[in-house]
Each structure stands twice: as structure tokens, then as C-alpha cells.
Structure 1
Amino acid sequence: MYKKTRMLFLSLMLFSATGCSLSRTVNKTSSPPADTKWVNIEVKNPSQYTKPFPLEVRYISYECKKRRISGFDGSVITEPSYNVIVIPMQQESGDTWKAKVAKTGGGSCKWTLSAVNLGIEYIDAIHLGKGLVPGTAVGVALAFDNDASRNGKYRSVQGDLKLSPKYYPYITE
């Protein structure tokens, strides 16, 4: 029994090491071309106790594909690569924060914009009660291609998009 367990363990280790060698390093550097279009993100900070968190921007490449081994049947699966970068929001005037995101990330992998996550987070909760600590942030995910919107929870919008949801604190004990 010990020999079989040991052999199975060694086989799994070898299989795992082989799976790692299938993926080649993807060049994640981006260099937006001069003629790229830009997405302007603007957040109006609702309170002195909150601030916008940095944008999480996801680019996709169909040029530089990644390969992985399926856990189901051991076959090799080829799929697009992703490149997630963080872009800080810049405070413009008072409670307005802005950032620009390139629609075409460029580079050797020809990165294109897939999705952007943005939102606000509490930086101080003193006004809500004594001893409270800020928790998680709230926000929205914007999809720019079919890959990012494949779960069906998105609606199509053309032109400018203005969101003005009301955020309420959620206090847990």
C-alpha cells in the first residue's frame, strides 16, 4: 500500500512539473500606440470619509496565448492571456477624481481593453460610530468585450455612461 501511495505521489509531482513547463512567459509590457482611443474615468467622491480606489484594468491578448493542462482529462488547453494593471485615480478638483485608460494596450502581444473595475472605499468610519473600522470597498465592473461580459450580467451602452448609485454603510458586529 505504501509503495502505491508513493508511486502515485511521484507521478502527480512529475505531472505537475510537466504542466508548468507548458506555459511560456507572456510579455506583459504595454505601449499604447499614438492613435489609440482613450476611456476617461471620472469618479465624484461622495464623502470626506471615502475615496476612489485605484482602477483595476484588465487587458486581453489573442496573440500571446497561454497553455494549461485540463484537470478534467489532462488535455492541453490554449486560451487568451490576461494582463491586469492598476491605474491610480488622480484627484482633479475637490471631490472629482480622474484616470485615463488606453483602449489598445499595444505591445508585442497586442493587448486590448477587456474590463475595468472601479469604485470607492471608506478610509475612515469615525462618523458612523465609535471604534468602527472600514471594511471592503464597493464598485462596478465595466466590460469592453465579449470575453469580459460572458456571464450575461451586463447591459450594452453606447456613448457616455453615467452611474450614480447611492452607497450606504453596512455595519456588522
Structure 2
Amino acid sequence: MAKVSMTVNGKSVSGEVEGRTLLSTFLREGLGMTGTHVGCDTSQCGACVVHIDGKAVKSCTTFAQDVAGAEVKTIEGMANADGSLSTIQQAFQDHHGLQCGFCTPGMVMSAAALLADNPKPTEAEVRHHLEGNICRCTGYHNIVKAVLAASGQDVGQIAAE
């Protein structure tokens, strides 16, 4: 066992982990932050995406020890300081970018990373960026629409599907 310390959603945290403990496990079981979902354990579905030092990373294949000293942001840290939904979260709600909600935390985290790098992406760029996130319910159309809306673009002309 080794002690690991990091900053998660602006708060310093630490815990004892085995060398093989995944970041997703540390967040969910060690810290009780169950918003980060695990759907595949093989880095295929994207439900576990978090930000490490500002970059989107799949936490189900990242060792907690490798993140020691880093700044980690999870879906629990996406809301505004007053507890209201962030722009991206609100856009997902407004444009029905979720159904069962299982993929939503990873989609929101991936979308936030995209918009940080590219504030006005095209529809094709959004679709390409979200290729590593699997949704079994929505067909992606409204997710893409939500991301475009969160970027401040007019989505009024995008037909609902």
C-alpha cells in the first residue's frame, strides 16, 4: 500500500492505494465520488472520463498512483460555484442530450475538454471528438446539438431527431 495525494475538484485528498488501484476505483470507492462511471474497464466506452491537469483522461485505465500531485476534475466538480448547472450540463438538459444518463458524465467531461481547446467546434469536430464515448440510448444527435449549444452556437436550424 502507498499513500497517494492529489487535488480533486479543488480539494486536497489522500488515501492508501495498492499499486494496481485504478483512478476510477479510488474516486468511486476511496472518495465516494460515484459520478465517474465505469462501463467497460478497457478504455472503450468513455463513461469514466475525468480531467487530469486539464486533459480528458479515461480513469478506468489510469493508476491512482500515477496521478499523485495532479489536479483532477470529475463530473461532481462541473457545476457552478452556486450549485447551478454549468453551461455544458445545462445544454445537455435543454437539448435532451441524455436518456439513461450512464454515459452522460463522460460525455460532459469530454465535451468540456473539447470546448476548452476549441470554443466553436463544427458538428464534424464534435462528432470526431466524442468517438471515444459510447452512448447506447440517444443516437448522439442531441448530444452533439448540446455541445454545439454549449459553445454558444445557434442550433435552431438543427432538426430534432
**What is the TM-score of this pair, normalised by structure 2?**
0.24
Q: Which has the higher strand share?
A: 1
Q: Which has the higher helix share?
A: 2
* Higher alpha-carbon Rg: 1
**What is the TM-score of this pair, normalised by structure 1?**
0.23
